[in-house]
């Protein structure tokens, strides 16, 4: 429970109305109760705000007066902050569970927590206040930074580096071999994958996502990157800072994604493609091998093309039935004219 005045202080913002009102929950505008806080994030929400029973609203600066409000530059971001205030993450309870297996030479900070049936490899280091969930398998020579959260059943192969404040969800795999094979006569030989994976600070990786180790060198994920569930990053990819990748997207080997790019769900990216800073790849699009998507460009479709061009082509496709009828009508007229002349 927090009072409105305290929430405003935490947000470094001003409030109007009942500063001593107790807020115990968060909710969308429609179902919100008098003890809830909600937010106005767009014009539609602003139009519906008058009917909301929320005790307090997070609103933009130009929102009209008349009820208990906290004015902020970005209501949605402020709402996320308030959720963390009202529902803080459980504190890490330090200690190593009796059923965990700890390899020789492993270094585990006293403030870290190692869950039941976890395996920590030889020479691995676990940073301060990091939490390793039940059933995690962490290889040898791994470095995990401070304040990380590994949910149950995360797998990290040998020699992977994970920065501070990483969140790894259940089933994700870091450091598996890249898909590297060479044709030798009538069969394929495995190309040894002897590189590594490096994960930056403040990275979140969704459930059942896979980050493959490099064949040689490094597969890297930059600071602040956010990967959804079931994302595959192949060997030798380089993902920049604060990149967002939605679910079921796959990157082939050697792809470079620069800072602040946004990649939608079910996107496929071919070998050695480059996605420049701030580019946006629409859901379901396909990027051909070695293709370059330029800075801040928005692309859609397969093969991917600029959004305006893609929409124009969709419009033309929608007109095809009409064009077909018109062509058939013209052909019928020509046929009748030929018959008349004959």
**How far is Cα 140 from Cα 143, in angstroms, rounded to an integer?**
9
**How far is Cα 195 from Cα 155, in angstroms, rounded to an integer?**
17
Beta bridge pairs of residue 25: 36
DSSP 18-36: -TT-EE-EE--TTT--TTE
Give the torsion sign (CA, 79, 81, 82, 87): positive
Distances (CA, A) of 251 to 168, 234, 237, 286: 19, 6, 8, 10
Pairing relation of β-strands 167-168 and 280-281?
Answer: unpaired
Peptide bond into 303 cis (omega under 30): yes
Tell me, yes or no, if 235 is annotated catalytic: yes
Closest CA to 163 of 136, 144, 140, 149: 144
* CB 131 within 8 Å of CB 118: no
**How far is Cα 288 from Cα 275, in angstroms, rounded to an integer?**
11
Q: How many CB atoms sit inside 10 A of residue 234's CB?
A: 22
Out of 151, 169, 232, 235, pick the active-site residue.
Answer: 235
- Known catalytic residues are 235
């Amino acid at each position: 429970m927090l009072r409105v005045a305290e929430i405003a202080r935490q947000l470094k913002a001003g409030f109007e109305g009942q500063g001593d009102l107790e807020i115990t929950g968060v909710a969308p505008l429609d179902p919100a109760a008098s003890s809830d806080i909600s937010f106005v994030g767009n014009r539609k929400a602003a139009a519906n705000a008058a009917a909301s029973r929320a005790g307090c609203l997070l609103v933009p600066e130009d929102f009209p007066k008349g009820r208990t409000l906290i004015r902020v530059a970005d209501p949605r971001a402020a709402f996320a902050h308030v959720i963390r205030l009202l529902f803080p993450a459980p504190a890490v309870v330090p200690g190593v569970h009796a059923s965990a297996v700890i390899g020789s030479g492993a270094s585990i900070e006293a403030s870290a927590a190692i869950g039941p049936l976890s395996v920590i490899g030889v020479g691995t280091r676990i940073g301060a206040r990091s939490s390793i969930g039940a059933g995690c398998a962490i290889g040898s020579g791994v470095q995990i930074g401070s304040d990380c959260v590994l949910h149950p059943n995360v797998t990290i192969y040998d020699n992977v580096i994970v920065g501070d404040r990483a969140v790894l969800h259940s089933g994700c795999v870091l450091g598996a071999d890249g898909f590297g094979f060479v044709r030798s006569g009538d069969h394929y030989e495995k190309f040894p994958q002897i590189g590594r994976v490096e994960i930056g600070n403040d990275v979140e990786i969704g459930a059942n996502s896979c980050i493959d180790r490099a064949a040689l060198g490094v597969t890297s994920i930059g600071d602040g990157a956010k990967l959804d569930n079931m994302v595959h990053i192949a060997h030798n990819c380089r993902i920049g800072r604060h990149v967002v990748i939605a679910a079921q997207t796959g990157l082939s080997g050697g792809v470079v994604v620069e800072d602040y790019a946004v990649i939608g769900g079910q996107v496929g990216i071919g070998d050695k493609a480059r996605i420049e800073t701030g580019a946006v790849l629409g859901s379901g699009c396909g990027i051909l091998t070695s293709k370059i998507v330029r800075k801040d460009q928005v692309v859609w479709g397969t093969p991917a093309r600029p959004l305006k061009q893609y929409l124009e082509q969709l419009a033309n496709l929608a007109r095809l039935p009409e064009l077909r009828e018109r062509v058939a009508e013209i052909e019928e007229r020509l046929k009748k004219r030929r018959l008349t002349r004959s």
